[in-house]
């Protein structure tokens, strides 16, 4: 069997030191730090009070309001990164075989923000189960890969890797192997997290990982 050559044709980035690839790379090479006091919630009672949050990011600059509302932040981040990578690659999607284009996207935790919000509402309510119908779809770790595929009508392999801190590395390795073995022509691959929440910081504090 002849193994196929694999190349990276496009990249996207949404990071604590830049909301696009160019800004991220400029700040990375300049040694800019993304760490700062936590703003996503009141962390004054937490052992860890700083984090590497996204800065000046508004999902509505990139996504339709209705769509954004149905996505956990981690999925919003995935959609923005995938869009930039596809633009960067210069792909004319209408000329490509979408049965041979897949998505392998990673998230170690998935929609933690959504989980915290929904459980908090229930715990402080009157006991009636008034859960959002999008609670589970927003929470699961493979919704980001699914949303990317649906947005671009990719019909190839679609899966999520969930392997803690190695999740995105595993996604890229899987993407590499699918192309190398001839199982796909193109794979959109990467990872996203939105774990700077009270549950995320508190949980990692409790296990002494922060």
In a domain, 188, yes or no: yes
Mean pLDDT throughout 166-192? 98
In angstroms, rounded to a whole number, what is the distance separating the alpha carbons of residues 96 and 106? 24
Report the domain count for the chain. Answer: 1
Structural domain span for residue 156: 21-206
Mean pLDDT throughout 165-183? 98
In a domain, 13, yes or no: no
The domain that contains 72 carries what CATH number?
A: 3.40.47.10
Gyration radius (Cα) of the chain, Å? 18
pLDDT recorded at residue 156:
98
In a domain, 16, yes or no: no
In a domain, 131, yes or no: yes
pLDDT recorded at residue 1:
79
Mean pLDDT throughout 31-47? 97
């Amino acid at each position: 069997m002849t193994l196929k050559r694999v190349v990276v044709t496009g990249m996207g980035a949404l990071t604590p030191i830049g909301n696009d690839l160019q800004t991220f790379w400029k700040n990375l090479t300049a040694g800019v730090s993304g760490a700062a006091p936590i703003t996503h919630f009141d962390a004054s009672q937490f052992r860890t009070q700083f984090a590497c949050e996204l800065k000046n990011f508004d999902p509505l600059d990139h996504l339709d309001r209705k769509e954004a509302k149905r996505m956990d932040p981690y999925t919003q981040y995935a959609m923005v990164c995938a869009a930039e990578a596809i633009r960067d690659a210069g792909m004319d999607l209408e000329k490509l075989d979408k049965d041979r284009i897949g998505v392998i996207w990673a998230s170690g935790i998935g929609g933690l923000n959504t989980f915290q919000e929904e459980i908090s509402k229930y715990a402080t309510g009157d006991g009636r189960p008034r859960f959002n119908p999008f609670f589970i779809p927003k929470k699961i770790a493979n919704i980001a890969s699914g949303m990317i595929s649906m947005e671009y009508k990719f019909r190839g392999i679609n899966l999520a890797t969930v392997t803690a801190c190695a999740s995105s590395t595993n996604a890229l390795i899987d993407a590499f192997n699918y192309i190398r073995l001839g199982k796909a022509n193109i794979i959109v691959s990467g990872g996203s997290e939105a774990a700077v929440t009270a549950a995320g910081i508190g949980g990692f504090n409790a296990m002494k990982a922060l």
